[in-house]
Amino acid sequence: MTDWDVPTLINVPEFRDGLGALGVVEKDAPFPFPIKRVYFLYDVPSNAVRGSHAHKDLHQLIVAVSGSFQVDLDDGKTNSRFILNSPNKGLTVPPGYWRTLRNFSAGSAALVFASSEYNPDDYIRDYDEFAEWARA
Q: Which domains does the chain have, with CATH numbers?
A: 8-135 (2.60.120.10)
- Identify the pLDDT of residue 2: 54
- Identify the pLDDT of residue 33: 79
Closest CA to 133 of 49, 68, 57: 57
Structure confidence by residue, pLDDT tens digits, 91-106 = 999 999 999 999 999 9
Radius of gyration of the chain (CA): 15
Closest CA to 109 of 41, 49, 48: 41
Type of residue found at 125 = R
Mean pLDDT, the chain cut into blocks of 10 residues (136 residues total):
78 93 81 87 96 96 97 96 96 96 97 96 97 93
pTM of the entire structure? 0.93
Instruction: Give the span between the Cα atoms of 17 and 136, in whole angstroms.
Output: 50
